[in-house]
Structure formats: C-alpha cells, structure tokens
A and B are shown apart, each in its own frame.
Chain A
Amino acid sequence: MSVENPKTRIVEIEPLTRVEGHGKVTVHLDHDHNVVEARLHIVEFRGFERFIRGRLLWEVPVIVQRLCGICPVSHHLAAAKAMDAIVGADVLPPTAEKMRRLMHYGQIMQSHVLHFFHLSSPDLLFGFGAPVKKRNVFSVIKEFPELARQGVMLRKYGQEVIEYTAGKKIHGTGAIPGGINKNLSIRERDALLGNIERMIRWAGGAVGVAKDYTLSHLPQVEQFANFKSNHLSLVRDDGALDLYHGNLRAIDASGNIIFDQVDYTRFNDYLMEEVRPWSYMKFPFIKSRGNLDGWYRVGPLSRLNNVSYIDTPLAEKEYRTFREFSRRKPNHMTLAYHWARMIEVLHCVEKIHELLLDTDLQGTDLRVTGARREEGIGVIEAPRGSLFHHYKVDEHDQVTYCNLIVSTTHNNSGLNRAVTDVARKYVGGKKRITEGLLNHVEVAVRAYDPCLSCATHALGQMPLVVELFDAQGHLLHTNSQYVDRPAAGLKP
C-alpha cells in the first residue's frame, strides 16, 4: 500500500519497483599492469517498460515519475509531451505551455542546486583527495554556512515552483495530455515574486563559485577526465538554449555541426543504440558517424557547447565568459559541468522571473485535443540531459509500447571514457584499489550526475563497487563505497 496524504504527506510505503542495483566499475589490466579499459556496469532493469504496458494513456505522465526520485518532473513532462502528440494537441494553449515551462525551470533549478551544493560542493571545496568523513555536505554546512544556506533556499524555491505548478513538491499531477490541470493563482504568483530578486542574486553568486573554482584549479580541471566528444541537445529554432522544447542539434568535438534543427520525432533516423555484451545499458551513437566515433555526451556541458546563445541577459553574460574560456570551441572538461550547471540555474531563475510577470499564467484555457495518433514522442532537456519518451497507444487508450532513453544512457560512452581515464591515472601499476582511486572514480561518475536509479529504473541508494582484474581476467582486488543520493535532501 502506498497512500499519499494531501496534508501531512506521509508515506510511500511500497515503491513501484523495489529493485536493488549498483554501479560497478571493473578495471582491466594488461600484462604490465597498465590499464586497458575500465567499464561502468549499470544493472539495468527494464521492468518499467513492461509495467506501463496496458496502462491508460493519461496515467502515463503520473506513473513515469516513479522512475526517479531526483527528477520526476522531467519524466512527467517528457511523457506529457509524448501524450500531447497522441491526443493530437499540437499547439498547447499558452497557459498550459507556460505553466509546464515554469514547472520545468523549477525542476532544473532545484535538481542542479541539489547536485551542486549537496553532492559536489564538498568535492570542490575540500578537494577530491579529502577523506569521505570530511568530504560531505555536513562539513560544508559547518565551514561555509552562508553558501550552504543559499543552496538550501535556492532548492526550496525551485521546489515551491514545482508545488505551485504540479500541486506537490514531488510526484505532482500538473501536466495532463493536451495541457495542464491548473493555472497559477495570484497568491502563488506573488509568493514566488516576493523572493525572486534574492534568488537571482544567489544564483549569480553560485555561478561565481563554480567559475572561480574552475579558473583557480585549472591544471586539475584540465587534466581531470578531459576528453573530446560530440555533443547533443535540443536547441530553439534560433539556436538559443531551450530546456523545454526545440529541435535536435549535434556538434563534433571541434564544434562543427553534425546535424541541426532535426525534428525530435525523427530521432531514430539520426541516432542508434549499440548493445555491448557486458552491459545491459545500451550505447547510443550518431548514425552518420558510426559507433566508434559517433558517441556523444548530453547534459549541461553539452547544452552550453551546443547552443548559439542564451536568451536571458545575466546567464548570457556568464555564458559568454564560459565560451571565451574555451575560445568558443566546445569545452570538454568533465569538471566544467559544474560551471555549466550553475549558468543554467541562473538562466532558469531569470526565466521563472519572466514567466511570473506574464499574465498568461492566470489564463483559464488549460487544454486542447485534436486528431488522435497511435504514436507519440516527447523529448525534453532534463537536468542531466536529453530525455526521450516514446510510446504507442491503441484505440482503447492503452499503452502498447514504451521506450525511454534517459540522459545516463546517452552519456554511457562518456561515463566509460571518464572512468577509464581516471583509472589510467590512479591505478598506476598498483594491484589494489586505493581509496584515492575509488574517490576519483566516484567523482568522475558523479560529474555526469548519472541518475543511476533512473538509468536502471530502480530506486534507492547504490553502492559503487570497483574491481581490478589482471590480464587473465583474475580478480585482484575489490573495494566499494556508497554513492549517496540524499533524495530527500536537507531540510531547511
């Protein structure tokens, strides 16, 4: 049983799927104990696609939120967009589209902030080498109380935006096929407007922290899992950053366009998924570049490499600095994800401000429907990158097919590269997995912010296990630690 309480919000007794998973890294050595390759194994659970089959189409945007405790709103909206296509809602009423955007910006903001302040700031503020005991959010609260407070408040603000648009901070119901189920009341609008200036200031400050860190640790940042790749994301039709809707653009490592303004419903013509025997998670690649060179990254870094500009002034200013830093070429530094992420937070807060001043949010025209289709694809830029939802629905309104490509799957190759890169540097002929290696692997994995639970379609905390194999495939050593995801976060 799991009951949700409108008032006390207790509960969640049984998750949809209670599946244990873990992130496992295997490091493979040659005869001279050099690292040949490191592989990130993610136990993938496909139970979800099965569960959703037979369910009714309007339930889908609500059900898919159970996939992920971190960014349920992204799944909610990607599914709603796919269902818009199925119910023939090709153009949503402005109120609906803007409410959904507001929800989405709130979500990206709170997710990025959670990631930065709660998960990454300890790494950045205390250094990766610091022991786990020190490298945690509690030490940040102790030693950088003001920063920690701003992190908590920014996140809380994002959650409030979600609550006012989706009805609840987590697992709401706002988006429905063809629209939205509520508008923004004047009271809700004013509550959000009251704090917006502060949020913009703090978000600007957070960009500063990430930027300063990057610039003052250049040697480390440049060395740490810095490798070339293609990048993929949605962009608006004028090339601007658009996290909610747009067309697909891909660029290569030097910034040349591979394809641009591709209608995402045709993604199958441009992307393919490769299966490798040792992994349940597929490896997508850009068809025209083949499986060896066609792998790409998604997420904040890729988005900022991809877009032509940002349409909000403060974020645009930061974005220019960011681009100048890599001389307008794509930035490939894994650690620059943090900087990119904070620029996006600033963009989201500016967008939220813009929307709050728009009276369309108080409109009452909430949904449309049109000619029914059998198939729908919804793509959105989730905090961690492009998220694809693809469904087929029969004439009885029941789902017959579902395929999800989540950000972590897009990043699968990148993650494996990053892990290999780190292993090469830190195994260093040793036959043991030191805590240093473990920490660095964890940091590399975390920089992508892989939603392991989402990629595996499981829920919960997962241990990261690193195993070292010799050339004959014998296990030399194994070591593990928890990749903690405080889904509930810190209470302010």
Chain B
Amino acid sequence: MNKTMRITVDGRKIRASPGQTIMDACDDAGVYVPRLCDVEGLVPQGSCRVCTVKADGHTVAACTEPAEPGMKVENDTLEIKNYRRDLVRMLFHEGNHLCPICEASGRCELQAMAYRLRISQATKYPYLQPVRPVDASHPDIALDNNRCILCGRCIRASRDVDGKHVFEYVGRGIHKRIGVNAENLAATNASIDDYAMSLEVCPVGCIIRKREGFFAPIGARQFDREPIGMDVETRQEHHVPKRRPDPAFGNDGTK
C-alpha cells in the first residue's frame, strides 16, 4: 500500500490515500461534500456536479477528481454553495416535483439537499412542469419519470451490481430520459429484489416500490431524523472505509 498524503479542505488538513477521490477522502475524514449522482457502493459518474469543489483554484467534481498531495480544496464557501444552489434549483425546474404529495418526501436526497442548501423559495425562472406518463406496468415497481434527476444511479446499480441492464439513458440534451431496455418495465427482467430497486439507489421518488408508499410516518423518515450529510459529518475517526465496487469486476458486472 502506498503512503497516504495530506490535502487541505477549507483550511483543514485531512488524509487521503493515493487513487482516492476528493469525495472519498473527505468522507473518510468526516467532511461532507454534497452530492446527488454519487453514492456509496457504485462507481462515481460525475454528472450532477453538485459535488463541485475548487481544487487549487479549478472547479472540479469531487466524486471523480483524484486527490493530489498538498491539494487545496474549497468546499463550504459561499461561492461554491451558490453554484450548488443553482444546480439543485435547476433540477426542480426541469422535473415536476410536488413534494407534499410525493412518497419520497422525507427520504428524498434532492429535497433534503434543497433544505441543506436552504433553498425554499421559487426562483424567477419558469418551471418546465413536464407531464410524463408513469410506467406502472410492472407488478411490483413503478417509474415516475416526472421526478427523475438523471443521476444514473439506477443504470450503474443494475449493470454493475445486479448484472442486468434494466435502465439506460435515452434521448439527448433536454430530451434525455431514463428508459428501460424493453417496451416497458414489465417487459424487462427487473425484479423488486434487484439492488437497483432498493431505496438506496434512486435518490428521489422516481423508482417506486409499489404499495409501500407512505408507510413511514412523518417524523420517522430518514431526513426527518437528521439532515442529509450528517451521517458523514458525525463519522467516527476509525470507521470502516467506504464501500466501492470491486475493481476486479468489469463495468458489466462480470469478472
């Protein structure tokens, strides 16, 4: 094992191992970098840019950028926070989010991020308010694309963990969507027991486990108990390092 190095985050010195991303080093040190498309257990993809930090003066995605010895990282500055706010706001504008009627409310990472970043007012931009049909064809799973933030976590989970390819991106630009690799979800080999369908994977209320909605009472939902990021910030010094897919596995989940 190579020697660990030191980097500075907002003036605080933390340890990083070679090859580690800024995000993983920060996590290990109990410093939270906001994120949406990255989640423990999946390969980072670097697409939502909510984890944007400044590393030695350049804006980079913390979830994909490797830590370098002596790197100076700005994470919790006003400038960075404002970038993140704009990015998160845009996600609300792009989709159709009515939190009070959404079963992900209270455990939704997008909503929790909005609170963490203290976004509570509408911006001056119009909401696109798309009306996208719900795919409820599968007996146990539904897909409500109105709430999808295109984080791709489902794609990676299905491909890298389940060894299936249930989800994929379709379309480009503003028309980009999450699609399934068949006519509808029922026609795929998706199963409710797939990792991709677990509550850990979809950060919002797009992948829905049928007939479980609103089982958790208000007050007992994940982010009712503690704000997003608190789990990282309250980590003990000697904790189990973050889980990432075994590099021995290929991208398609095969050896």
Binding site for B on A (CB under 8 A): 1-6, 10-14, 16, 54-56, 58-59, 61-63, 65-66, 87, 166-168, 171-174, 176-177, 181-182, 396-398
Do A3 and B119 have beta carbons less than 8 Å apart?
yes
**Interface-centre pick from B114, B119, B208, B213 (highest chain A CB count, 10 A):** B213
> Chain A interface: which of B3-11, B56-64, B133-141, B168-176?
B133-141
Check A171/B106 contact, CB under 8 A, given A6-B223, A56-B142, A181-B216. no
Which listed residue (A14, A58, A65, A171) contacts B122, Cβ 8 A?
A14
Do A176 and B214 have beta carbons less than 8 Å apart?
yes
Interface: B217 (CB within 8 A): yes
Do A167 and B114 have beta carbons less than 8 Å apart?
no
Interface: B224 (CB within 8 A): yes
Q: What mask results when residues 188 to 200 of chain B are scored 1 for a CB within 8 Å of chain A, else 0?
A: 0000000000000
Question: Which residues of A lie under 8 Å from residue B92 when comparing CB positions?
Answer: 1
Count B interface residues, CB 8 Å.
39
A-B pairs with lowest CB-CB distance, top 4:
A167-B218, A182-B217, A1-B92, A396-B136
Do B136 and A181 have beta carbons less than 8 Å apart?
no
Do B121 and A13 have beta carbons less than 8 Å apart?
yes
Docked CA distance A450–B102 (Å)? 29
Do A59 and B103 have beta carbons less than 8 Å apart?
yes
Interface: B248 (CB within 8 A): no
Which listed residue (A11, A56, A182) contacts B136, Cβ 8 A?
A56
Interface: B211 (CB within 8 A): yes
Question: Which residues of A lie under 8 Å from residue B223 when comparing CB positions?
Answer: 6
How distant is A173 from chain B, measured CB to nearest CB, in Å? 5
Check A13/B218 contact, CB under 8 A, given A56-B142, A59-B101. no
Closest A residue by C-beta to B216? A181
How distant is A398 from chain B, measured CB to nearest CB, in Å? 5
Given contacts A59-B101, A62-B103, list 15 more A-B pairs with CB under 8 A. A1-B99, A1-B127, A3-B99, A4-B99, A13-B121, A54-B133, A56-B134, A56-B210, A61-B214, A176-B214, A181-B216, A182-B220, A396-B136, A397-B136, A398-B134
Do A397 and B210 have beta carbons less than 8 Å apart?
yes
Closest A residue by C-beta to B114? A3
Do B122 and A397 have beta carbons less than 8 Å apart?
no
Closest A residue by C-beta to B91? A1
Question: Which residues of A lie under 8 Å from residue B211 when comparing CB positions?
Answer: 58, 87, 177, 397
Do B122 and A54 have beta carbons less than 8 Å apart?
no
Closest A residue by C-beta to B144? A56
Question: Which residues of A lie under 8 Å from residue B208 when comparing CB positions?
Answer: 56
Do A174 and B217 have beta carbons less than 8 Å apart?
yes
Docked CA distance A176–B213 (Å)? 8
Do B213 and A56 have beta carbons less than 8 Å apart?
yes
Docked CA distance A307–B213 (Å)? 37
Question: Which residues of A lie under 8 Å from residue B213 when comparing CB positions?
Answer: 56, 58-59, 176
Closest A residue by C-beta to B186? A396
Q: What mask results when residues 220 to 255 of chain B are scored 1 for a CB within 8 Å of chain A, else 0?
A: 110110000000000000000000000000000000
A-B contact count (CB 8 A): 98
Docked CA distance A16–B99 (Å)? 11
Do B111 and A3 have beta carbons less than 8 Å apart?
yes
Contact residues of A: prevailing secondary structure = loop
Docked CA distance A396–B136 (Å)? 6
Do A172 and B136 have beta carbons less than 8 Å apart?
no
Closest A residue by C-beta to B221? A6
Question: Which residues of B lie under 8 Å from residue A167 when comparing CB positions?
Answer: 217-219
Docked CA distance A4–B89 (Å)? 15
Docked CA distance A76–B137 (Å)? 26
Which listed residue (A1, A58, A87) contacts B214, Cβ 8 A?
A58
Question: Which residues of A lie under 8 Å from residue B120 when comparing CB positions?
Answer: 3, 5, 10-11
Docked CA distance A7–B99 (Å)? 14
Closest A residue by C-beta to B92? A1
How distant is B226 from chain A, measured CB to nearest CB, in Å? 11
Question: Which residues of B lie under 8 Å from residue A11 when comparing CB positions?
Answer: 120
How distant is A167 from chain B, measured CB to nearest CB, in Å? 3
Question: Which residues of B lie under 8 Å from residue A176 when comparing CB positions?
Answer: 213-215
Do A1 and B97 have beta carbons less than 8 Å apart?
yes
Do B219 and A6 have beta carbons less than 8 Å apart?
yes
Question: Which residues of B lie under 8 Å from residue A62 when comparing CB positions?
Answer: 100-101, 103, 214
Do B101 and A181 have beta carbons less than 8 Å apart?
no
Interface: B105 (CB within 8 A): yes
Docked CA distance A166–B217 (Å)? 8
Docked CA distance A66–B98 (Å)? 11
Do A3 and B134 have beta carbons less than 8 Å apart?
no
Do A12 and B134 have beta carbons less than 8 Å apart?
no
Question: Which residues of B lie under 8 Å from residue A182 when comparing CB positions?
Answer: 217, 220
A-B contact pairs, 26 of them (CB 8 A): A1-B99, A1-B122, A2-B97, A3-B120, A4-B111, A5-B115, A13-B122, A54-B133, A56-B142, A56-B210, A56-B213, A58-B212, A59-B103, A59-B213, A61-B214, A62-B100, A62-B214, A167-B219, A168-B218, A172-B218, A174-B217, A176-B213, A181-B216, A181-B217, A182-B220, A397-B211
Closest A residue by C-beta to B88? A1
Question: Which residues of B lie under 8 Å from residue A397 when comparing CB positions?
Answer: 136, 142, 210-211
Docked CA distance A345–B11 (Å)? 61
**Interface-centre pick from A12, A56, A63 (highest chain B CB count, 10 A):** A56
